[in-house]
Amino acid sequence: MKQLFYLNRYAGPMIIILLLGLSSCKKWVEPDRSPVLLESNKVFNNDLTATAAMTGVYAQSVFGPLWLANGGLSVYGGLLADDIINSTTNTNADPFAQNSLLANNNIVNINFWTPAYRNLYAVNSILEGLTRSTGLSATVKAQLTGEALLFRSLLLFYLVNLFGDIPLVTSTDYAVNAVLPRSRDTAVYTQITRDLLQAKELLPVNYPSAGKLRPNKYAARALLARVYVYRKQWPDAINEATAVIDSGQYNLVSNLNNVFVPASSEGIWLMARQNSNTAEGTAFIPASATIMPTYRLRDKLLQLFEPTDQRLANWTKRNTVAGTAYYYPYKYKERTNAVLTENIQVLRLAEQYLLRAEANIALNKPEAAAADINRIRRRAGLTDILPSGQLSMMNLLMQERRREFFCEWGQRWFDLKRTGTIDAVLIAEKPQWKPYAALLPIPQTDMDRNPHLKQNPGY
């Protein structure tokens, strides 16, 4: 329930100190003593305030502009890839759509790098407070530790896939963090996997609150399945995805208009904004039916949908302006409605089927892969595919992933990179494409502060 994110009258003063301390830290590299630490003993000696601290971190991550977890990956990831393009010249969107970012790009810094590390600091502070605490019940301590580890792994996952090698921040020690060099992506993935494995053991099967706004064991297993696919650990990916699919807690939603509603049986982990519906809805849906959308779907994506595909019918919409049809993403249906009816889908069941399919293709099990792909196709009103060779099956899978996950958490952008197809695909769509643009630049402001940081090539 959304009210989980509001500060209750008992936890309020402590958590306000926590959140103000986080927001006042201009950069994670500044070697100051944070006011967060001043009240941590009180916060983490009470089940109620400790829980409020964790839910406060969730609230902060989806508050404000198009941050990483607040629609930023869906919008800017869609621009970086070949999902969407801005309909008119826009100084914020153009560098992303044209893959012409500079090291001083403000969006990269303020919307991605800084909030990700700010939230890492917050979650590390919570983990340290939980470790020191002697006043929490064992159940709450385990639950919150699992949640914090899961959220840290989510942040690290997106940072490493956006920037490549990154400073691996796992503590609140500013003196250490201020001079951290970039860790290899393999080390970051090792930390992610370690965190998720521990979270999987700590989190319960049942959700600790209504609305799936706080994660359970299967949320950790779902993200772990994705990580294993990205790392080509195929049997492990199958085991984790199968555990989620066979858990009995989730089902594919037959009506595609209901996939992204709070009560969706497909949702594995959701986040809620306090005073508005999703940032994706605000960004993608035009203010009226008579104007061009800010972002329109690219023609090649639209052409990939079969005419009977219900995702085309239900997840896209169009405005016709001066005789030209402009299609835009319509997974989330609310732009600015004051009535809160939609939450952010962080993880959902459809991905688990396609992750398992990808692993089975890699293991040369085309029948099993086709069965999972066909579950998604049937839900979309399409006919089954037949098992075929590995290359053909992988192409079919990636097409299905593109139709299923367009403008959703940067999935297409990451798929292009991890499959090694990014150069061939984007040079055909964007003649100005340069291979170095597959990684975002490390913000120049942090490069200036930390002499141990090195820039990505090309910037």
Q: State residue 145's pLDDT score.
A: 98
- Token reading at 74: 């869906």
Q: State residue 40's pLDDT score.
A: 63
Q: State residue 29's pLDDT score.
A: 35
Identify the segments of the chain with pLDDT beneath 50: 1-17, 19-38
List 316's β-bridge partners, or say none: 329
First to last CA, the chain: 44
Angle (CA) 72-81-403 rounded to 5° is: 95
pLDDT digits (tens, 9 = 90+) for 269-322: 999 998 889 999 999 999 999 999 999 999 999 999 999 999 999 999 999 999
The domain locations on the chain are: 1-80+104-204+435-459
Q: Please say whether the beta carbons of 103 and 455 come within 8 A.
A: yes
Which residues lie below 8 Å from residue 237, measured CB to CB, with a gap of 6+? 225, 228, 229, 355, 356, 358, 359
* Architecture of the domain spanning 1-80+104-204+435-459: Alpha Horseshoe (1.25)
In angstroms, the CA 276 to CA 211 distance is: 16
In angstroms, the CA 97 to CA 412 distance is: 14
Torsion angles phi and psi, residue 93, rounded to 5:
-80, -35
Amino acid at 385: I
Instruction: Give the pTM.
Output: 0.92
